[in-house]
Amino acid sequence: MGVGLFAVCNRSHSRALFFLPQSFPMTLDEVFAEGGLFAAAFPDYKLRPQQREMAQAVAETITAKGQLIAEAGTGTGKTFAYLVPALLSGGKVIVSTGTKTLQDQLFQRDIPTVRDVLKVPVTIALLKGRSNYVCHYRLELARHEGRFLNKEDVVHLHAVERYAKVTQSGDKAACPGVPENAPVWSFVTSTRDNCLGQDCPNHKDCFVLKARKEAQEADVVVVNHHLFFADVWLRDEGAGELLPACNTVIFDEAHQLPDVASLFFGESVTTGQIIELARDARAEAIVVAKEFVMLPQAAEALEKAAKDLRLVFKSEAIRLPQHQLAAYPDFAPALDEVIERLKNLNALLAKQAERAEELEKCQQRAEALIAALVRWQSTEHEEAVHWIDVSNFGLMLHATPLNIAELFRKQLNTHPRAWVFASATLAVNGKFEHFKHELGLWDAQTALWDSPFDYKQQAVLYVPPAMPDPNAPDYTRAVIDAAWPLLRLTHGHAFMLFTSLRAMREAHELIVARLKEAGLDWPVFLQGQGSRTEILDNFRRAPNAVLVASQTFWEGIDVKGQQLSLVVIDKMPFAPPDDPVLSARIEQMKKAGRNAFMEYQLPYAAITLKQGAGRLIRDETDTGILMIADNRLVEKPYGKMVWNSLPPMYRTRDTANVQRFFEVKRQHGETEN
């Protein structure tokens, strides 16, 4: 059993009362004990001391309006552990998740289940980002413009129109016949930039405002981390009422918070935003200022300038800090051209703004974009790094703070409330210093509960000997060579996880070729060939399936049973050293006399590796093989920190031991069945 580190937990008084409003008492033992409420509700329920201890720690945190960092290993039941005291608290609770999958699971299944068992009259709301809801005004605008390029978009538009007339929520995820990634959604949903707010003619029927009103009135609100930062902390219109009114904030999948917080505490401008402004201005001008031909012309010129800015980098997909852009002499003039075109459009919009609220809103957006671009052009300072991210779809200019700890602490101290940070992967070698330092959580209590799974009996961790250096050009081929006997042993049923897209694609080709040579017709799924949900559903159904993926599949994936018997990870997932933000943070830490590798890069790799390793064992009856091909785990002194952070599986470097372990477990499983 894991050792509880929560400082104020009284382990000798585990039956501490936790009160409902009006002094209606209910102990946590009444819920979690072998003869308790959960046992009565679920036939297969088993008491897990770790779960009850975590619930007690969360309860005490809520009562004290404190801060708790809690790592609960896979199988602990952390979701119910924090939901029980949260729902019994009688206050308003925000639960924030890292993925939409968990967000939907909490809203549709977990919270209603716990509410029904506890028989507490709490109301629940699911709140998503603005772009998830149909916008009546944008839908009408898209219907009149008719700027769609293919029949499929037109079919999707008609489907959205029909849906908008009958839906109560306006959530695009529930729209029949239109995929969530369909291009039509960018035309029929709003953004913070183009929303008309109270000036919108459809304001009273707005799905976003309806969802927010329900969230403000609900006892428990389920959001995701991006929405929490963007729409609550940044006080988006109408959402600022959520945080002041809540008593408890619970972050599940909290290991993702530092990256998300960095994004939202910074500032970003995209070519997509600029192009969208140009198109909106042109569309509005055609409707309300037909005779003012200079306005659509200026909008078209701005759109061209934005596209030309992206074309400076040709087909490259790169990330560069501002100071390295001198290697692209066409960039600065192209950015200046965008700003000049924006200024010209802004001046013309100002002349016509009184004619319609829509044009006035476009002018405000133009002014904001000009100011943001000028700020980005300014010289970098030590607190932030200015950089660009060039993708196939556009170009993004970022200003990212290098230290978000103080910014985060200010938010924690705005109002007395409880804060709970929960995940299966927050500690490194049993310590939370890395996570605390990232978010400035110096006053937080910490607690760690190991998984109740018997890892030594359920899984074997194999590090193949004699692997080449991870940076060697033939490394991926060596990984496949080492994994091939294990793939044959498990008859597929494998996740092959890689730290880069390049290695993933190379590995996919090698595996397909190996299977063909061996005459094996096993299905091989590749990340990117469909949505994550679609690929995962296909993997679960297909016999002998092999999934080859990059970090999209390292977390938030749950495949139980023999369908996933092998997980292969190519190397320790260190962040790319040429990442502009990482490079700047390393430089800043070096100047301060700190060891960036030991304090930042290694803990980050350890937490990410724990996530990948956690895909293998998802149930107390699961068995399988985890292969990590990186010799640095056992041969480098720093590898011990990562090694000790991994689940306590049976460990070996001998394939014969792996084969014996797996065959014994498989025979035992077949005997039981």
- DSSP string covering 648-670: --EEES-HHHHHHHHHHHHHHHH
Which pLDDT score is estimated for 148?
67
Give per-residue pLDDT as tens, 294-318.
888 999 999 999 999 999 998 778 8
Which pLDDT score is estimated for 239?
45
- For residue 65, give both structure tokens: 């309006």
For the chain, the farthest-separated pair of C-alpha atoms sits apart, in whole angstroms, at 82
Instruction: Tell me which fold the domain 24-129+212-262+404-449 belongs to.
Output: Rossmann fold (3.40.50)
Catalogue the E-assigned strands of 286-411: 319-321, 384-390, 395-401
Return d(Cα 585, Cα 591) in angstroms, integer. Answer: 10
DSSP 431: B
Residue 186 banded pLDDT, cuts 50, 70, 90: confident
> Which 3 state secondary structure label does DSSP give 76?
coil
Instruction: Tell me which fold the domain 267-401 belongs to.
Output: Fumarase C; Chain B, domain 1 (1.10.275)
540 within 8 A of 532, measured Cβ to Cβ: no
Which pLDDT score is estimated for 11?
30
479 within 8 A of 629, measured Cβ to Cβ: yes
Return d(Cα 407, Cα 419) in angstroms, integer. Answer: 16
- From residue 315, alpha-carbon distances to 241, 307, 312, 471 in Å are 44, 13, 9, 25
Q: Is the pLDDT of residue 643 over 90?
A: yes
41 within 8 A of 117, measured Cβ to Cβ: yes
DSSP 392: S
Instruction: Tell me which fold the domain 455-672 belongs to.
Output: Rossmann fold (3.40.50)
Residue 293 banded pLDDT, cuts 50, 70, 90: confident
Which pLDDT score is estimated for 22?
40
Q: Is the pLDDT of residue 252 over 90?
A: yes
366 within 8 A of 279, measured Cβ to Cβ: no
Give per-residue pLDDT as tens, 561-576.
999 999 999 999 998 8
Return d(Cα 638, Cα 635) in angstroms, integer. Answer: 9
> Of 54, 92, 48, which Cα lies nearest the Cα of 71?
54
Return d(Cα 67, Cα 155) in angstroms, integer. Answer: 50
Which residues make beta-bridge pairs with 418?
248
- From residue 403, alpha-carbon distances to 91, 356, 443, 604 in Å are 32, 42, 18, 15
Return d(Cα 311, Cα 557) in angstroms, integer. Answer: 37
Which residues make beta-bridge pairs with 567?
495, 626
> Which 3 state secondary structure label does DSSP give 152?
helix
Residue 370 banded pLDDT, cuts 50, 70, 90: very high
pLDDT, average across residues 208-218: 91
- Where in the chain are the domains? 24-129+212-262+404-449, 267-401, 455-672
Backbone angles phi, psi at 95, to 5 degrees: -110, 120
Q: Is the pLDDT of residue 224 over 60?
A: yes
Give per-residue pLDDT as tens, 516-555.
999 999 999 999 887 788 899 999 999 999 999 998 899 8
Residue 672 banded pLDDT, cuts 50, 70, 90: low
| pTM: predicted TM-score of the whole model, two decimal places | 0.87
- For residue 630, give both structure tokens: 């990186």
Please tell me if the domain spanning 267-401 has the same topology as the one spanning 455-672. Answer: no
Residue 638 banded pLDDT, cuts 50, 70, 90: very high
Q: How many CA atoms lie within 13 A of 604 on its CB side?
A: 19
> Of 650, 607, 642, 605, which Cα lies nearest the Cα of 625?
650
- From residue 381, alpha-carbon distances to 464, 580, 633 in Å are 45, 14, 37
Residue 5 banded pLDDT, cuts 50, 70, 90: very low
Return d(Cα 440, Cα 258) in angstroms, integer. Answer: 10
Neighbouring C-beta atoms of residue 627, cutoff 10 Å: 23
Backbone angles phi, psi at 568, to 5 degrees: -115, 130
Backbone angles phi, psi at 462, to 5 degrees: -120, 125
Query: What is the percent of the chain where pLDDT is above 90?
Result: 63
> What angle in degrees, to the nearest 10, is found between the helix axes of 111-118 and 78-88?
50
